[in-house]
Structure 1
Amino acid sequence: FLMNIPLNVGTTRSSRTTAVGAADNSSRVGVVTSSRATAPTTAAPSRAAASSASRTAPSKTTAASSSSSGTVGAGSARAGPPPASAAAKSAPDTSQASWLPSQKLKSVKCADPFASKATHFKTKFGSVYNSGGVPCRLNHGAVNIKLQWSRDPGGLDLDPLLVTCAEGLCETEHPYAFAARECFRELLAADPDGARTLPLVPRIVPCLRAALTNANRGVFEGGVEAATQLSEVVGAALNADLHVLVVPMHRKHTDREFAGKILKALQTFEERGGPEAYKAIKAKVPTYCSVHI
């Protein structure tokens, strides 16, 4: 019998000894520690010994590894990537919402169409327009938006309609922002001699100043245009209040977006107001040059 033993008896004997030792330790203690559980695999003399040991006692080593409380066995079982957290799974995916093509068309805010109380509107114009106090509506064309008047603007009483439109210059939501500016412009155009507008100048100027001092760039631009339109109608009647309008304009005269409109407004003040208007402008804007030079 001893003559039939293969030459690798030393390797087989060492593997059997290791397997028997592991089985003996598991039967004595009942639980094999993490260091003993990894000893047969890490300290094996060769691949043949490791495979022989695994074939000799697969059930015993499995029981020992399952009964051990060390973290080495748990770490080897979780060799893959860690699972995603519950917070990451429950978080909604909003990355696509900011890339919708319709977002490019929403630069102007729209007002609440179901608002009914006066407190829901930014200015008095929004409440009056929503309740039908302004006899016009917006006509949405294919390209441009126009006002559709239900009554002739030339026959309307401008008190307090024109003042209400001047208050609406501070509106920033659609359709009130567009409606207020267009109503103000067309009502002034319907009174070319300024007979109905002159008594309202002291009440309109504070509204223009509020628009010129507003932080919104669109509101400021509308205030500059409205002041220019008012000067074209009332002329010298605006000279006493020019200092109130020129100062906030001069603060943004270096802005390339508004420089042209501000210069046009100052020149209109001078042309329609005469020498007194030039003096009032020069007192607040020393660098201003007369349009007649």
Structure 2
Amino acid sequence: MAKSTKPSNKLSDRLNPKTVNQFGKSQSSFGQLYNNGAIPCKLSHGSVNHRLVWNESPESLSYDPLLVHFAEGLVETQHPYTFITKAAFIELCEIPGSVDKVLPLLTRLIPHIKLALMSKDKEVVKGAFEAVQALSNSIKSHLNPHLKLILAPFAKWSNNAATRDLVLSTLHILEEHGHKEAYQQIKKKIPTYTSICG
């Protein structure tokens, strides 16, 4: 009798999804870097939530090129890459004083974030919006000169029920930190946007 290929419904399989084949196809170079041990963190499977475990304190890490690798990996669609790239990018941006490490990398980060925002995969896009929020929270108005490069996909996803609220919350964060200049850029790309300043 042939063995069933039906997906498992075991609780352990749902809580701990199968990780990718080390030799499986990755959407970016991140997968190869991770499998070669070049990424200083790993996924820890919890009973309810997953979390990152770093090999050393993330505060002590050089962001160049580590943060760029995580930004590039935002387009990944396979587990554990999807979780690791987004969570690590956000964690590094949330570290106090991260602005000094992030700013020199902006021109290298933005193209990867834009690519993730243009994905057809909703989960990739959601991760990209969360990364934009983290970036804005870190560098504040320093993101303004780069907004025109990433705002175009916002209009498309603002009309999608699955992403509408996330788009709006991201725009609010961009305006909050970028003030009038950010609002003007947002309004050009998304005329229906209403300012949080009233």
TM-score between the two structures when normalised by the length of structure 2? 0.90
Q: Given the alignment of the two structures, is residue 243 of structure 1 paired with residue 151 of structure 2, yes or no?
A: no
Q: Given the alignment of the two structures, is residue 213 of structure 1 paired with residue 121 of structure 2, yes or no?
A: no
Residues 205 and 142 of structure 1, relative CA distance in 2, 3 Å threshold: same
Residues 99 and 235 of structure 1, relative CA distance in 2, 3 Å threshold: closer
Q: Given the alignment of the two structures, is residue 111 of structure 1 paired with residue 29 of structure 2, yes or no?
A: no
The 8 Å contact of residues 109 and 172 in structure 1, kept in 2 or not, is answered as no
Q: Given the alignment of the two structures, is residue 129 of structure 1 paired with residue 37 of structure 2, yes or no?
A: no
**Other-structure match for 1:262:** 167
Question: Which one has a bigger Cα radius of gyration?
Answer: 1
Q: Given the alignment of the two structures, is residue 141 of structure 1 paired with residue 46 of structure 2, yes or no?
A: yes
The 8 Å contact of residues 92 and 98 in structure 2, kept in 1 or not, is answered as no
Cα deviation for residue 109 of structure 1 reads 7.1
**Other-structure match for 1:168:** 73
From 93, 106, 111, the equivalent of 1:201 is 106
What do the CA deviations read for 1:182-236 (whole angstroms, capped 9, x no partner)? 1101111124450110011111110110000011111011111101110111111
Report the 3-state secondary structure (helix = DSSP H, G, I; strand = E; otherwise coil) of the residue aligned with 2:34.
helix
**Other-structure match for 2:191:** 286
Report the 3-state secondary structure (helix = DSSP H, G, I; strand = E; otherwise coil) of the residue aligned with 2:157.
coil
Aligned length: 196
Separation (CA, whole Å) in 2 of partners of 1:135 and 1:99: 32
Q: Which amino acid aligns with 1:169?
A: L
**Higher relative contact order by CA 8 Å / sep ≥ 6: 1 or 2?**
2
Report the 3-state secondary structure (helix = DSSP H, G, I; strand = E; otherwise coil) of the residue aligned with 1:291.
coil
The 8 Å contact of residues 41 and 54 in structure 2, kept in 1 or not, is answered as yes
Q: Which runs of 4+ in 1 moved over 2 A?
A: 96-102, 119-122
What are the within-5 Å matches in structure 2 for residues 35-114 of structure 1?
A: 97-98=5-6, 101=9, 105=14, 110-113=19-22
TM-score between the two structures when normalised by the length of structure 1? 0.62
Structure 2 unmatched runs, 5+? none
Separation (CA, whole Å) in 2 of partners of 1:260 and 1:287: 14
Cα RMSD (Å):
2.3
Report the 3-state secondary structure (helix = DSSP H, G, I; strand = E; otherwise coil) of the residue aligned with 1:134.
coil
**Other-structure match for 1:84:** none
Identity of matched residues, %: 34
Q: Given the alignment of the two structures, is residue 230 of structure 1 paired with residue 135 of structure 2, yes or no?
A: yes
The 8 Å contact of residues 163 and 204 in structure 1, kept in 2 or not, is answered as yes
